[in-house]
Structures are given as C-alpha cells and as structure tokens.
Amino acid sequence: MAFGVLLAAAEMRSELLLKALGFPARAVLVVMAVGLSVWGLKELIAYQWSKTVRRPVRARSNRFMMPVEGMIYCVIMLVLLSGSVIGRSNTLMLVYVFMAGAFIVNGSVMFMMLKHLSVQRTIPRRVMAGEPFSVQLTLTNPKRWLAAWVISIRDDVSNGRESLHPEVLFAHVARRSSGRGQYQLRLSQRGQYTFGAIQVNSRFPMGLVERGLILAAHDQILVYPRIGRLTSGWRRNVISATQLASHAQQRIGTFHDEFHRIREYRHGDDPRNIHWRTTARRNELMVREYRESRDRQLILLLDLFLPHNASEIQRQRFEYMLSFAATICDDQLLNGRDGDLVFAANAPQLQVWKGTAEHGGRDKLLDVFALMQPNLEADLPSLLNIAREEQTPHSRTVVITSMEDRAEQVRWEKSVAINTHHQAWAEPPQVIVADPTSLAMAFSVERLASA
Amino acid sequence: MSIATTPFASHIALRTLLKVSISCLLALSGGIFAFAEGGPIAAATIPIALGALLWNDIKGTFSLNVWMANGLGLIAFAIAGAEFFGESIEGRLLGFGHLLFYLSWILLWQEKGTSQIWWLCALSVLQVATSSVLTNSIWLGFFLIIYVLWALWTLSIFTLHRAVQRTTGTDSKGALSPAPIPSPSERNSISRNGVRTASASRWITLRFVTGIMANGILSIIVGLAFFVLTPRVWVGSPLFIKNQVSAAVRSQTGFSEEVSVGDMGQILENHDLVLEATFSDSQSGDPIDVNEYASGLGLDAPLFRGTVLGEYDNGRWTAVSERFQLVRPTSRRILNRISPLVKQDIRLHSIGTQTLFACGPTVICLPADESSRYESEHELLGNTFRRQLKDSDDAETGEVFEYFAYSLSDHQRPYSMVHPSVERRYAQMMTRFPIGLEPLAELAKSTTQTAEGSTLTPNASVERLVTLLRDSGEYHYSLKLSIDDPNIDPVVDFVINRKEGHCEYFASALVLMLRSIGIPARYVNGFKGGTLNTKTGRIEVRQLHTHAWVEAYVDRRWIVLDPTPAARDEAVSAISETSHFWTDLTADIRSLWVSGMTLSGGQQRRMLFAPLKDSTGSILESLQSFADDWNSQGQGSGSVPGDARSRIIRIIISLVTFALLLFSAVWLWKHGPDPLRRRLRIRRSQTSIMAPTVPFYERFRKILAQRGHQRRESQTPQEFAVDLDQQLQSLHASRALNDILRTLTQAFYEVRFGHHDLSEQQLHELDASLDALERSLENGNSPNGR
C-alpha cells in the first residue's frame, strides 16, 4: 500500500512520466499505483480483522508466503531496474525483465497449479496404541491442461496433549488424474485424535514463493489401549478353565462338562468312562476325557481411580491396567463361545457394558476403553453392586485396580457384604492389582506376530 | 520397500544433479563475464567450478571449513577493494565483478547446504548483471537466454531437492532416518512422512524436463514483452551508454561518429538494406545512371558519403571537436542559385544514425515531405548532412526517412559556402599528425621522394601513396582482425608488420601518411557501390557495402581517394550475390538486437503510447460528441430529434447482444450438447465409480505397457499373467515375480467379478508389490532385490 501511494505521489509531484511519455503513460501508472494501494489496504484490513474476529473455518482458503530468498530476489530485481534506469542501460534492463518474467510466470504457474486441487484422507476408524498404521492421502487434479508438480501435503494430528504434522510429497500428479500417497503414524497415547485441516503447499518451480491451500477436512480416530496376550499361566491359575473328566459330575449342573477327547487310561480314571469300542480297536484301555466348559460369564470390574496428583509411574500403571482389562475382554469375546461378558467401570457416569462379540460388540467395547478417563471419585461399592446384580451361578467376577490400597478396599467391601448378609457372592470376586511385575507371568503387552 | 519412503539411491542422484547444475550455472556466468570483460579472472571460474564439483562434491576429498572460508573471504575483499579504488568507473565495476567471483569460488569449495546454494545463485545473477553493463554484444543476448533457461532448471532441481529433503528428513550425508521401533512405555507418538514419485526410482522424468523448458521459454517471452513495455524514463547520465550506443550503431552500419579501427569485419556478412536511391536530373527529371554519374566523378563505383572524421588517437577516429565548425539548417533557396544538379531520391532505412548519405559533392539535402517534422543540418566544413527534429533534440532514427540530395555533376567546379580563411584553418587542422606514428611518416617521406631526394608535388605524392597502398601488391585486402604487435599503434602495425587489412586500415594509413607530409587529409566513411533492383529501378545499398576512404585537400579542393585494393570490391560482389537463409536470419536477429539495445523513450512513445493515446482520444471524442448531441436535444438545436438517442440505444443493444452471445458461447463450450463430451463425461463418471477398487490393476497394466508388455484383447487377465511370467523368465528368481502376478490377478478377479472390496491394508500391500515389480523390471532383477 505504501509503495503504491509513494509511486502515485512521486509521479504527481515530479511529472516525470508525463513529460517523458505523455498523459496515457501517467494515467496507466496512476491507475496501477492506486490499485496497488487499494490492494495493500485491503490486505492490511483483512489481516487485522482476522486477528481480532474469530471467523468460522472455511472449507477452502488460500495461503501465500514469501520466504527470505524470494524477498532477496525482489530486492535484486529492484536494484537492477534502478541501475538500468540510472545508467540508461538496455542490457541491464534486459536482465531485469528476464528476472521479472520468470518471477511472474513462476507465480502464475503456481497459482494455476493449485487451483481445483482436492485431497481426500483415508484413515482407519480405530487403531491400537503403539500400532503403526498408514494414512492415505489422495490428491486429485481435475484440471484439463496443467499437471501438479512437487506438491507437499501437510496434515495435522492432535489429541490436545501432543500434535503431529506428517507430510506427503507428491512429485507429479498428471492432469485429470489422482495420486495416492501415504504417511505412517504410530500413536502412543490412548484416546481420541483429531485430524485437522490439510495444507497443500508448493514452491515449485523456482522456490521463491510458497503458495498453498488450506482444506477443511476433519476426521477422528480412536486409539485403543494396547491389547496384549494372556499367557497360559493366566488361564491355568486364574481362570481354571480346564478340569479333568475324573469329576463325578452331572451333565447339567454347576459345571457343564463337554466331551473333550479319548485318551489312554491312566491310574485313577473313572472306569465308567472307558470307551470300549476304541479299547477293542486299539487293544488298550482308552477313556473319555471331559472338560469343564470354559464358557462362563465373566464379570469384569474396572476401578478407574487415580489420584489428582498422580505420578508418571501411577499414570503408566493406570494405562497398563486398561491394557490388561482390554486384553481380558478381547480374549473373552473372541475365544469364548457361549460365555458373554459384563464389563463395568466406575467412571464419573458408571459405565456398564454387556454382550458378545457379535454385531460389532467388540468394537463398541473397545471404543469405551479408548475414551475412558481416570475418576478421582471412583466408587467401589456401586461397582461391586453391579457384579452382584449380574452374577449367575456360572459367572466369575474379576476386579482390577491399579493401586494396592484400592485392592484392599475391594477385599474389605467384599467381606463387609458377606458379613452383613447382603446378597451373597455366587463366587467371590477375584481382585487383581495391575502391577506389571506381578502380572508378568500372566499378561504380556507385546503381541505375538500375527499368524 | 514401502511406498512411503523415497529410494535412497535416487535421492543421492538428485543431490548430485543439483550440484552439477549449480556448478554449470556458475561456469556459465563466469564465461559470460569473461567474454564481456575480455579478461582471464572470470574465466578461471570454469576450471574452479569443475574442480570443486569433482573433488569437493562428488569425491569429498577436500572442502573449506568455516575458518578457511572466512579467511579467504577477507583476502577477497582486500583484493577487490584495491581494484575498486581505481580511477575509472569501468575499473570499479570490474573490481565489484571480481569480488563476486572470489566469493563464489570460496562457496564452491564449501560443503553445499541450502544457504550456500542460494548464495551461489544470487552471486551468479549479479555476475551476469555486471556483464550486461560491460558489453552489449549480440552474443550477450544469446548467452543470456541460455543462462535464464539453465537458471530455471537449477532452481527447479533445487526446489525439488529441498522438498524431498524436508519431507524425508534426510541429512546432508543422505542417510535415511531409522524406522521407529515400538516400545510399550513410549509416550510420544511418531509420524513418518511419505513420498509419491511418478516412477519408483526416478525423480527426473522427461515430462519434468519438458515442463521446465516450457516454463523457461514462457518466462523469456514474458520478459521480452516487459522489455518492450517498460518505459524508458532515463533518470541519470549514461555511464557507458555513449560507447554502447556507438558500438551498437557501429556494429550495425560500419560507421559512426567514432570509429575504432578493426570493427568492420562482421558488417560484410550483413545484408540489411541501408538505403535505396534513384538519380535524376534536377531540372528535367530525366533518370541518370548512377554508375555513369560515378564515372563522371572519377570514381569506379558510387560513394555514398556519410561522416567525416578528422581526429585520430590510438586507433580511434573521431569528428573534429573544434568550435568553429559551421552548421546551419539547409534552405531551398540555394537550389535556385546552382544548376545543373543531380537529384538523388533516397529512402534511408532505420540504421540508428542521424547521418544523411549522398553521392558526390552534395550541395543540399532536403526532406522529401516538406511538412516533415525533420529538417536537415549542413556541417559546412566536412560537407556532411544530418537530420534533426525541428523542435526536439531527440534522435528519432527508427523509421524510413525519404529525402532528396542535390549534388554537383562533377568536381571541376569547386563549391564551398565557407570563407576561405576558415577553410584554411580547417585544412591546417587536417594536417595534425599524432605522436608515435613516426614509422608512417618515414614511409610516406621515402615514398614521396624522387630518386634525387627531392619531394614530389602534392598531386604526385598523393598518387604515389595511393599506388603504394592499392596497386603495389605489397598490401593486401583482408578481414583478418588479429594484431601482430599489440604494443604499437594498429595502423602502424598494419603498415609496417601485417600489411593486410580492410578498408579502415587502408584509409587510416593514407590519411596519416598524407598528413605526415603536410597534405591535409580526412577520413570519410559511408557506403560504396550497390545493386540495382530491376523491379523498382532503384539502387540498393546494403550494410555489406560499408566502406571507408580518404579526402585530401589539394589545389584548394577536397579530392576523393580510395586506397583499398580492388579485392575488396570483388569480395563484396561475391557476398552480395549470395543470399542465404541463415545469413538473412542472422542479419535480422542482429538488427532486432540493435533496435532493442538502442530503444529510447521516443521510439516507445511512437510505437506504443502514441497509438494508445490516439485511440483513447478518439473514444473520448466519440463519447463527448454523444453527450453533446444528447444535450442538444433539450436545447432544440435543430438537429433531428431522437437521432443521438437512437444511436445510444443501438449501441446498448449491440453491447447486450454481444454479451449474450459471449455468455452463450461460454455456456455451450462447458455444457453444450456435444455428444463426444457427454460420452466422455459419462465414461469418466463410470470410471470414477469403479475407481476405488480397480486402479491397482490399471497401474499394473500401465507399468507393463511402458515396458512393451500389453495384454491382447483375446487374453483374459489370468492368461496374460501366465504369458507374462513366461516372457519374463530371464529375471532371476522368477518365482517371486510369479507370486506377484498371481496375487495381483487374483485380487483383480475378486474385485472385478467377485464384487469384493479390498481393505486398506490389502491395497497397501498391492501397491508395495507393484513398486517391487516396477523396480525389478527397470533393473532386470528379482523383485526381492537379488
């Protein structure tokens, strides 16, 4: 704006152009100077306005930035122009106009190259914390005549605590075509991540000016806690799912025995389980082995208590607890055939989930895990009451907490309930403190390589 | 390898290409400066740049660290400072230019990061800009175009390299960042950027190169348009402009108000038309044959006289600067006093000079158009003519100028409008003999002595000297420009050592030798001869007819002497009879260049702004007349009522109709019932519906098609895969290739016919397989890299 005003004022005062080239040249210069001033004023007002008034984000907006090298280029051009005018040198003027021509063509090419470009982002809806995944960006160039060169697409990923800015560089996208590129992410924090506006930038070909587009393309992704694997020690020592068929049990009763296999007779086996036909065939005693059905209802209670000034170790244990609980739920839903799962957590609003893996039940449960937050006022009695209400003769209850004193409190609550003749436990809940050291034999955060 | 990373090898190649490009750019700018300066310092940039490329950039054997670079920089400033505080402006400019080169040499030998490359580009531009002040030769324009194209190429490569570097995070040594290893306790998320190239292993494709070249050509065209349109509002005093303009004009016409002996060589290849002339009797109007007229003057060919130069200094002739030169506007009254006269009707083409040419002892030159803006000035002592705008000092030389020159029919009758005493003083001035040319004086003296030792008469002396140079056979005509002894005067070198040269040398030698024996002589340049155009009946004089001769003051009159051997005329005839396309093209280009380098504000005003002003004025006048007519309606001026109103209505209707037609045309172009366009649009929309699941197979087919493998119409995809596997048996470990082909084909069947959608992970894996396939086909190796 200042330059335009100065130019007009200089001509009005000195009448240089008027004397040299006549009125039309002066008129052209004044019109250009006024236009420049108006444009500058408009940019100034727009800048100040944007700083003071928060406007809703537009779907598509442009950006322009001139780096230092571009400014130096303009300064050199100006010096050459001044030198040619002062020194009356047409050859120096020629050098100046070639620089100016290249600059103008460069800017025009960039402007036209970025027009009508669109970007589509493809992301998974859910990922596991620490799991690498790819985000695909599809750059579409619908223009008829002009390809897009050296386009850098910058994405914005944040969850309020950390922010990432991955980029994909597209060397060339031909006219009327699309190009697909990917970048990789590994999100370590559980929760919800937001993908913000996409920036499409280019400095091609001369690198003196950067132009870009800002496209409003918002997406969200849920990051689950890490799902590890339960060891056989967990199944054996905690769940106790397998029983030999030596029990004298009814088919229908407390335990629903299932025929498991036929094996050789061992000392102590019930003679009534001898399978005579196989015995005759193999000429050795063979018995039927039954296995207690593991499809028992699991009631998993999760204590979300975390003190206000929790240390980093406490927070890590909290996440470890969620990871452990999620693994148990995942295991129960995937591997249990008839058993279902009841999950409850003492969030600010009590979270209760019941169901099976069918109809996307697993995803919905893991979504709950993704969004779970610590609760300073986590209430244990109400949590235990849910278990009492949901328990069945076939159910087993597991309470998981991240702190030892909370575990003690659970045990006390459990015993108080028994002593005061509240509804008795069909099976007393098992209390587990999510301590990485003590659970090392039962649970591993590292997943095995997928088969 | 994943599609998300760029091949390391191709990134190295890109960086190497960048360094090669920047080194060549610096070498080019150094060559341009060396050509402009005529010195060796800038030329040293070429071997320095190549050496730095080899030992610093490629091999990495040696590079300057920061301390060494700073120390050398200080030394460079000191050396350039000593050059800068010289006497002449040109010396200071050269000092500044040399400083640019010293700094660029230091940067070339440093390890090149982003800032170093930017500095090198900036220094290169400044070097070229400085060169443009030192010379305006046409070769500068040619190299400038090459420089612009190469600079754009270098900047494009640089931009691409920076984008890749920023995206992939490669360091200056080129190592890629290691892949992240998941850790359970890690709290910070990590992202890894991706790169999508047109080809899996190449950044620079043919399309990239042609795009950059097209961008460069467009930049040059836009720049040239700017050059024409940028107002020439000169502010300061010219630094080198006088010499530049003179040099430009000199290269165009072979003469100017200053002549440097030896610059005429290139003119003899120039077929540009300078003037066309017809000769007739001034009273009867009967045509006169120009060769007969020349014979009557004692000349073997018509000599069109241009400028007269009388002062000589170290190879340079200039016009006499004495104040008593008499110049006056020509007047037609003189025509009534002298007769008969030969009237020469001359059309002078734009050659960048105000000089008016005429053949023979010319009395007066008058513009053919009596109402012309021009008038002619007559420099009496030299008897030369120039045109001048009546009310301006500006030199308008850009148009064909027609004028009449009236000359005497013979030399017998001397004619002069100058007082004899003035003429004597002038003649005395024409005997000035510069110091340092004693060999010429000795030769002249020895030539003009009789056997007895006495001096010949002036007429005999003149004849003897002319014979020595032209007819003795001791001196030969040549366009050779080399100098045998640069420490002596070029004319002395010609007369004593080389004994061969062109007309400038012969004329200069004769003038100086005549002066050494006391005979006033002056150097004249113009044009000799011409070709008759049988269609127009005019004699056409071209640039290649440029000539220099001598006029000696003997017996109180100036006589014309031509000491150049006849070989000159033969050479000119031979060249004028041949006309080549490339010769004419070169001449046109040269003419265009000179026009550009001598472009003035006046020429711009006449060519660009005056027509704009006239058209704007006419539009304003039309609008004014409409307004007047409209106003006159209310005043009852007597004009036909509604006449102006109806005109305006017609205009409005025309404008609206035009606008409607324009919008309709645009709408039809975009949405019109074009069957082909509709069909294409439908097919495009169908393709876009299918696009999400088919493109991997399309890419597969494209990769193979580029390498000459195409599926026949009768082949199913399965058959094509089998056929292809057999064709590519030459690749090692073809089992991996077979797996890729089978996987791709199977996936295609599932999608195309099974209507299954592939997951993102599967699409990602297919893309990776296609990358591997493309690489293997390019390298001729197994897709596993073995």
Query: How far, in whole angstroms, is CA A271 from its chain's centroid?
Result: 59
Q: How far apart are the first and last CA of chain B?
A: 14
For residue B63, what pLDDT is reported? 86
Q: Cβ(A201)–Cβ(A154) under 8 Å?
A: yes
Q: Which of A164, A168, A169 sits opposite B189 (nearest CB)?
A: A164
Separation in Å, CA of A362 to nearest CA in chain B? 19
The DSSP output letter for B174 is -
- For A360-374, the DSSP string reads GHHHHHHHHHHH---
Tell if the CB–CB gap between B191 and A184 is shorter than 8 Å: yes
| CA–CA–CA angle B672, B675, B676 (5° rounding) | 105
Query: What is B69-134 written as a DSSP string?
Result: HHHHHHHHHHHHHHHHSSSSHHHHHHHHHHHHHHHHHHHHTB---HHHHHHHHHHHHHHHHHHHHH
pLDDT tens for each residue of B396-408: 455 678 889 998 8
Q: Where are the domains of chain A?
A: 1-55, 56-224, 229-234+296-444
Helices B114-134 and B8-37 cross at an angle (nearest 10°) of 20
**Of the partner residues B144, B240, B605, the one whose CB lies closest to the CB of residue A21:** B605
Cα of A234 to nearest chain B Cα, Å: 20
* Contact call for residues A308 and A376 (beta carbons, < 8 A): yes
Report the range of poorest mean pLDDT among B60-74, B126-140, B238-252, B374-388.
B238-252
Residue B725 CA, chain-centre distance (Å), reads 57
The minimal CB distance from B609 to the residues A21, A69, A203 is found for A21
Which residues, other chains included, contact B28 with Cβ-Cβ below 8 Å and sequence gap of 6+? B124, B143, B146, B147, B150
B57 pLDDT higher than 70: yes
Please report, for residues A85, B427, B558, the alpha-carbon distance to residue A26 in angstroms, rounded to integers and kept in the order given. Answer: 17, 52, 53
Across residues B365-376, what is the average pLDDT? 76
Judged on CB neighbours under 10 Å (0-12, 13-18, 19+), B733 is middle
pLDDT confidence band for B760 (50 / 70 / 90): confident
Interface test with B, best of A15, A68, A94 (most B CBs within 10 A): A94
pLDDT at B689: 46
- Residue A87 to residue B160, Cβ atoms within 8 A: no
pLDDT band at residue B786 using 50, 70 and 90 as cut-offs = very low
Helix residue spans in B254-289 (DSSP H): none
CB contact under 8 A, A164 and B610: no
Say how far apart CA B698 and CA B362 lie, in whole Å. 84
CB-closest option in B4, B216, B610 to A134: B4
- Give me the pLDDT at residue B574, please: 72
pLDDT tens across the length of chain A (451 residues): 787 888 878 888 888 777 766 776 777 777 788 778 777 877 777 777 767 765 555 678 888 888 999 999 999 999 999 888 888 788 899 999 999 999 999 999 999 999 899 999 999 988 888 888 889 999 999 998 889 999 999 999 999 889 999 999 998 898 899 999 989 999 988 899 999 999 999 998 999 999 999 998 889 999 988 888 887 767 665 554 433 333 334 444 444 456 778 888 888 888 888 999 999 998 999 998 876 555 567 888 888 888 888 888 888 888 888 988 998 888 888 776 655 788 888 888 888 888 776 667 788 888 889 998 888 887 788 888 888 888 777 778 888 888 777 777 777 776 665 555 455 666 777 888 888 887 777 777 765 444 3
The SS3 of residue B545 is helix
The pairing of strands B557-561 and B546-554 is antiparallel
Given a cut of 90, whether residue B579 has pLDDT beyond it is no
Q: Do B239 and A122 touch (CB under 8 A)?
A: no
**Whether the Cβ atoms of residue A195 and residue A411 lie closer than 8 Å to each other:** no
Q: What is the 3-state secondary structure (H, E, C) of B708-750?
A: CCCCCCCCCHHHHHHHHHHHCCCCCCHHHHHHHHHHHHHHHHH
**B213 to chain A nearest CA, in Å?**
11
Q: Summarize pLDDT for B500-519 with one digit per residue, the tens.
A: 888 889 999 999 999 999 99
Smallest CA–CA distance, residue A100 to chain B, in Å, is 6
Continuous segment of H or E residues that includes residue B464: helix B458-470
Q: Is A45 exposed, middle or buried (0-12, 13-18, 19+ CB in 10 A)?
A: exposed
- Among A97, A149, A169, whose Cβ lies nearest the Cβ of B195? A169
Are β-strands B538-542 and B316-318 bridged in parallel, bridged antiparallel, or unpaired? unpaired
pLDDT value of residue A95: 94
Q: Which residues of A touch B192 (CB under 8 A)?
A: 166, 183-185
Query: CB contacts < 8 Å between A and B, how many?
Result: 260
pLDDT band (50, 70, 90) for residue B621: confident
Contact B190 A21 (CB under 8 A): no
CB contact under 8 A, B159 and A171: no
Name every chain A residue with its beta carbon within 8 A of the beta carbon of B235. Answer: 16, 85-86
Asked whether the beta carbons of residue A23 and residue B234 sit closer than 8 angstroms, the reply is no
Sign of CA dihedral B448, B450, B453, B457: negative
**Closest alpha carbon within chain A to B186:** A188
Provide Rg for chain B, Cα atoms: 38
Q: Among partner residues A83, A92, A162, which is closest to B189 by beta-carbon distance?
A: A162
What phi and psi, each to the nearest 5 degrees, are found at residue B196? -120, 115
pLDDT for res B244:
45
Q: Mean pLDDT across the stretch B136-156? A: 92
Please tell me which residue of chain B has the smallest CA distance to A99.
B223
Q: Strand, coil or helix: what is B200? A: coil
Q: Which residue in A has a C-alpha nearest to residue B218's C-alpha?
A: A105
Q: Quick one: pLDDT at residue A336?
A: 65
Backbone conformation region of residue A307, classed left if phi is above 0, alpha if psi is from -120 to 50, else beta: beta
- Whether B339 has a pLDDT exceeding 60, the answer reads yes
The answer to whether the CB atoms of B760 and A136 lie below 8 A apart is yes
**What residues in B contact A10, CB-CB < 8 Å?**
none
Number of alpha carbons in the 13 Å side-chain half-sphere of residue B473 = 0
Q: Do B132 and A89 touch (CB under 8 A)?
A: yes
Torsion, Cα of B762, B763, B766, B770 (10° steps): -170
Of B294, B298, B318, B323, give the one whose Cα is nearest residue B308: B318
Token pair 């420089």 is found at B147
CA nearest A71 in B: which residue? Answer: B122
pLDDT, tens only, B420-444: 788 888 888 889 898 889 999 999 9
Q: Are the C-beta atoms of B138 and B250 separated by less than 8 Å?
A: no
Taking the CA of residue A229 and the nearest CA in chain B, the distance in Å comes to: 14
**pLDDT digit string, tens, across residues B654-682:** 888 888 888 888 888 776 655 555 555 55
The answer to whether the bond into B340 is cis (omega within 30° of 0) is yes
B483 has pLDDT over 90:
no
Instruction: For residue A123, count other CB atoms closer than 10 A to its CB.
Output: 20
Nearest to A17 among B227, B231, B237 (CB): B231
**Cis peptide upstream of residue A205 (ω within 30 degrees of 0):** yes
Cα gap B440→B443, rounded to integer Å: 5
Kindly list the residues from chain A whose CB atom is less than 8 angstroms away from the CB atom of residue B162: 203, 207
Other beta carbons within 10 angstroms of residue A407's beta carbon come to: 19
Among A93, A106, A172, select the one facing B198 at the smallest CB separation: A172
Place of tokens 């470890």: A320
**Per-residue model confidence (pLDDT) at position A56:** 58
Q: Specify the pLDDT at position B444.
A: 93
Give me the helices (H) in A22-152, please: 23-52, 68-87, 90-114
| The two structure tokens encoding residue B407 | 């000359």
Indicate the average pLDDT of chain B: 78
What is the dotted CATH code of the domain comprising A229-234+296-444?
3.40.50.410
Residue B697 above 80 pLDDT? yes
> Does the model's pTM come out above 0.90?
no
| pLDDT band with cut points at 50, 70 and 90 for residue B5 | very low
Residue B770 pLDDT > 50: yes
> Which of the pair, B399 or B356, is modelled with greater confidence?
B356
- The predicted-structure confidence for B59-87, as pLDDT tens digits, reads as follows 888 888 889 999 999 999 998 888 877 66
A56-224 against A229-234+296-444: fold identical: no
* pLDDT exceeds cutoff 70 at B734: no
Q: Which two tokens stand for residue B695?
A: 């493109």
pLDDT of residue B247: 47
B192 band by pLDDT with thresholds 50, 70 and 90:
confident
Q: Which of A95-104, A276-285, B195-204, B775-784 has the lowest mean pLDDT?
A: B775-784
Read off the pLDDT of each residue in B375-388 and give the average, rounded to a whole number.
79
User: How far is B273 from chain A, CA to nearest CA, in Å?
Assistant: 25
Mutation target vs B (from A97, A106, A194, A314; most B CBs, 10 A cutoff): A97
Going by their DSSP bridges, the two strands A396-401 and A430-433 should be labelled as parallel
CA distances from B730 to B219, B718, B726, B775, B776 (A): 48, 20, 9, 15, 11
Fold of A56-224: Immunoglobulin-like (2.60.40)
Which residue of chain B is at minimal alpha-carbon distance from A135? Answer: B760
- The verdict on ipTM greater than 0.85 is no
How far is the C-alpha of B590 from the C-alpha of B596, rounded, in Å?
A: 10
| Residues in chain B within 8 Å Cβ distance of A316 | 185
Q: Tell me the nearest-neighbour CA distance from A129 into chain B, angstroms.
A: 9
